[in-house]
Amino acid sequence: MSRALQAFVAALLWGGLVCVGNTAAWAQGTISGHGRYVPIDQYVPPGIAGQMALQAGKATPDHFQPVRVKLPTTGTVTFFDGTPQRPVELAAPAQAGLLVGRMYRLRVTDLPEFPGGEFYPSIELVDRLHPPPGQAERFPVEIELFPEEFTGADNGRMVTKVVYLEQPNLVLTQHLHGEKRVTDLAPSQNALAEADFLGRPIAIVRMGGRTPDRNAPDWQFWGPGAPIRITTNVTNPQP
């Protein structure tokens, strides 16, 4: 990405994104510009924020939250069902149920913009949505990966995004529809704190240029692994 830090406010009532270019180190808890203390930031190692969310009782460890991954155009999204040896390939946009509090590594391939390229974003759910009963699959957490993020990862850079559920009273009426809004923030700002002020953080998404070593699998890259849940014949989710 060309920007050190960006905040994407989704043009949907239910959610938005706060996005930051990573540095080499992660900071301690900070006081946000809105006067709130947030004990962690986007630089904590993957998995810590999710485990803290479970300890806070934001979801039960066995709850599968539907997540829908969207790409700039077409491509293949591969989820891994508990282990890298169990790939599940889906055409984008791809949807699967992920456990809250766990870190998942995905593979994105077949992008026409990056012939032969492989990208390995991770998703860590720190909360869940509460849709009408029986309609969870129609209202997933939407995670959109943008062209500039793939370009940055292809150039060896890293981006971290915080997906959050917006507070309607903080969103101007004219901003509820249309293109996603982009706001530049200082690199030292806490993206989790910003998302917490704007609404309720739901997921942390990380993507960089690192790829797995085929000859020596690294458990730190893949994480401890967690099951997924695939639902067939999912209808298009409502905005």
Q: Where are the chain's structural domains? A: 5-229
Low-confidence ranges of the chain (pLDDT < 50): 1-15, 22-27, 173-174, 233, 235-239
Tell me, what's the pLDDT at 69?
Answer: 97
Q: Tokens for 62?
A: 């066995």
Written as one letter, the residue type at 172 is L
Tell me, what's the pLDDT at 115?
Answer: 95
Distance CA 46, CA 160 (A): 11
Report phi then psi at 173, rounded to 5.
-55, -40
Distance CA 178, CA 180 (A): 7
Tell me, what's the pLDDT at 185?
Answer: 56
Pairing of strands 64-70, 94-99: antiparallel
Tell me, what's the pLDDT at 231?
Answer: 77
- Please name which of 145, 162, 163, 129 lies closest in space to residue 238, comparing C-alpha atoms: 129
pLDDT digits (tens, 9 = 90+) for 193-205: 888 887 888 999 9
Tell me, what's the pLDDT at 5?
Answer: 30
HSE (side-chain half, CA atoms, 13 Å) at 83: 2
